[in-house]
Amino acid sequence: MILEGLPTLTKGHGTENDFVIVPDPDGALEITAAQVAKLCDRRAGIGADGLLRVVRTARFLEQEQVPGHEDQAADAEFFMDYRNADGSVAEMCGNGVRVFALYLRARGFVGDATRFGVATRGGVKYVSLTPTGPLSADVTVDMGVPVFPDTRGDVTVEVKGTPRPAVDVDMGNPHAVVFVDSTDDAGTLYESPVVAPRGVYPDGVNVEFAADVAPRHLAMRVHERGVGETRSCGTGACAVMIAAARRDGAAPGTAYTVDVLGGRLHFVERADGRLEMTGPAELVFDLVAPETR
C-alpha cells in the first residue's frame, strides 16, 4: 500500500500545480524515486505534479549536500525537498514554495509567523503570507535574481514544426521561453517540445510558450521537465516575465501579470534585480493510510 509507513500526507496546490506534502521534520523517511512516482500517479496513486517533503534544514543538510547553499539553516528552519512527479529531483519550484509556506504556517511549524525563509536546493526563498481562509493564502516570494546564462549559444524551440528562438533563463532550474502568437501554437504538449541544439540542456529543461495578452500581461503554457504539461509553473512564469520585461525594455518596478491554465500570477522586478512573485496557495485534503485489519 502506497501510504504504508508514511505520516498523514496533505494535498495542496498553487494555481493548480498540485503537490503531495510529506511531513518529515526529523528526516526519518527515505522516499525513493519509485515511491514518489507512485504517489504522484493520477490513477494508481494520489496524483500530483510533484512532492514536497518538509524536513528541518539542519537535518537535511546533514543528509544531503546542496553546493553553494550549505549555510541555509540559519535563515530557514525548514527545507523544501522537492521532487518531480517522475521521481526526479529539481532545484526549485515556485508554486511549491508558496504551498510549502502555507503548510508550515497552517500546521504550526512556524507558529503564527507570516514572513520567513524556506530553504531549497536553489537557496533560501523569503515568503510573505496573507491568509485568505483557514487553509489558503496569497503568498509573495522573493524568487531571487533571474540569470540569463549566455553559455548555451542560440537555443531554439520548435513551434508548429518550425524552430523559433528561445530565451534561456535560469531560476535555479532551467527554462527555455519561446514567444508565440497564441498559446494554442504550443499544440498538445503530450510529448517534450523539440529543443535545439540537441543536448544543449544535459539535465533537461522546462519549456514555456508565452503569448502577449495586453501590455505587460502574458499567457503561458508549460511543459515541465520530469512532469509533462502542467497547469502552472511558478519558476516558468518568472522566466516568462523576465524574458518579456527584457524584450520590452521595462524599467525595474514595472508590474507584470502572467496567466497560466490554473490561474494568475503577479510579478515585479525590484530595483536590486530580485523578482517578486505573488500568487495563491491552498491545502485541499489530508490522506491517512486505511486500516488494514
Residue ranges of the annotated binding site for substrate are: 17, 84, 94-95, 173, 206, 224-225, 234-235
Contact between 10 and ligand LBFN2T5F by CB under 6 A: the answer reads no
Q: By C-beta, is 16 or 185 nearer to ligand LBFN2T5F?
A: 16
Beta strands 275-287 and 136-142 are antiparallel
For 174, residues 6+ apart whose C-beta sits below 8 A from its C-beta are 168, 201, 203, 204, 205, 206, 225
Residue the block writes with cell 543528509: 63
- Cβ contact 39:48 at 8 Å: yes
Q: How far is the CB of 56 from ligand LBFN2T5F (least distance, A)?
A: 22
262/258 Cα distance (integer angstroms): 11
CB 144 within 8 A of CB 122: yes
Of these, 17, 35, 57, 140, which contacts ligand LBFN2T5F (CB under 6 A)?
17
Q: Which residues are annotated as a binding site?
A: 17, 84, 94-95, 173, 206, 224-225, 234-235
Rounded Cα distance, 35 and 13, in Å: 20
Site for ligand LBFN2T5F, residues 182 to 211, rule: CB under 6 A: 206
245-248 long-range CB contacts below 8 Å, 24 or more apart?
245/269, 246/148, 246/167, 247/179, 248/216
Give 159 or 233: the residue with its C-beta nearer to ligand LBFN2T5F.
233
**The binder of ligand LBFN2T5F chosen from 225, 241, 267, 275 (CB under 6 A):** 225
Residues classed as catalytic: 93, 233
Given 18, 168, 170, 224, the residue binding ligand LBFN2T5F (CB under 6 A): 224
Among 23, 146, 193, 234, binds ligand LBFN2T5F (CB under 6 A): 234
Q: Which stretch binds ligand LBFN2T5F (CB under 6 A): 26-34, 157-165, 212-220, 231-239?
A: 231-239
Taking CB under 6 A as the criterion, the residue among 76, 207, 233, 240 binding ligand LBFN2T5F is: 233
- Which value, in Å, is the radius of gyration of the alpha carbons in the chain? 18
140 lies in the binding site for ligand LBFN2T5F (CB under 6 A): no
- By CB under 6 A, which span of 24-32, 58-66, 137-145, 225-233 interacts with ligand LBFN2T5F? 225-233
Q: How far apart are CB 249 and ligand LBFN2T5F at their closest, in Å?
A: 26
Site for ligand LBFN2T5F in 79-118 (CB under 6 A): 84, 90, 93-96
Q: What's the rounded Cα separation, in Å, for the pair 62 and 12?
A: 28
| Number of neighbours of residue 24 by Cβ within 10 angstroms | 18
Interacting positions 31-90 with ligand LBFN2T5F (CB under 6 A) = 50, 84, 90
Binding site for ligand LBFN2T5F (CB under 6 A): 17, 50, 84, 90, 93-96, 173, 206, 224-227, 230, 233-236
